[in-house]
């Protein structure tokens, strides 16, 4: 039973990270795009026209959201390549590389 609890305790953080990166980043991206859309309406002939451009606060918030997404992607790439970077350049980026190379 202890073994099963240990497995569950190790799987839960992986599932949470998968949900965040799998669904959270696209949702943040969609939110950022929506903030940049401003106010739109459809005309009688079916065309989409912009009624009011996005405000300054919405543009700043969207920029911050996109910056967070870019930072998370860069951190993810560095995390995947951390052993290669440590072995090649000797930079232990996250402080978790095994060493002994």
Chain segment 9-67, per-residue pLDDT in tens: 888 888 888 777 788 888 899 999 999 988 889 999 999 888 899 999 999 999 999 99
- Asked if 38 and 52 count as a contact pair (C-beta separation under 8 A), the reply is yes
- Asked if 51 and 41 count as a contact pair (C-beta separation under 8 A), the reply is yes
Query: Does residue 35 lie within any of the structural domains?
Result: yes
Query: Does residue 19 lie within any of the structural domains?
Result: yes
Query: Does residue 41 lie within any of the structural domains?
Result: yes
Burial of 4 (C-beta count, 10 Å sphere; 0-12/13-18/19+): exposed
Any idea of the CA torsion for 50, 39, 29, 72, to the nearest 10 degrees?
Answer: 110
What range does the domain containing 66 cover?
2-85
Global confidence as pTM: 0.69
Query: Does residue 93 lie within any of the structural domains?
Result: no
Domains held by the chain: number: 1
């Amino acid at each position: 039973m202890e073994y099963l609890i240990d497995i569950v305790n190790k799987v839960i953080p992986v599932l949470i990270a998968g949900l965040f990166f799998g669904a959270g980043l696209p949702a943040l991206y969609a939110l950022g795009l929506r903030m940049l859309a401003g106010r739109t309406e459809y005309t009688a002939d079916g065309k989409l026209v912009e009624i009011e451009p996005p405000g300054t606060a919405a543009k700043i918030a969207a920029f911050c959201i996109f910056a967070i997404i870019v930072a998370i992607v860069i951190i993810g790439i560095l995390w995947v390549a951390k052993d290669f970077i440590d072995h090649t350049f000797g930079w232990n980026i996250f402080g978790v590389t095994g060493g002994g190379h």
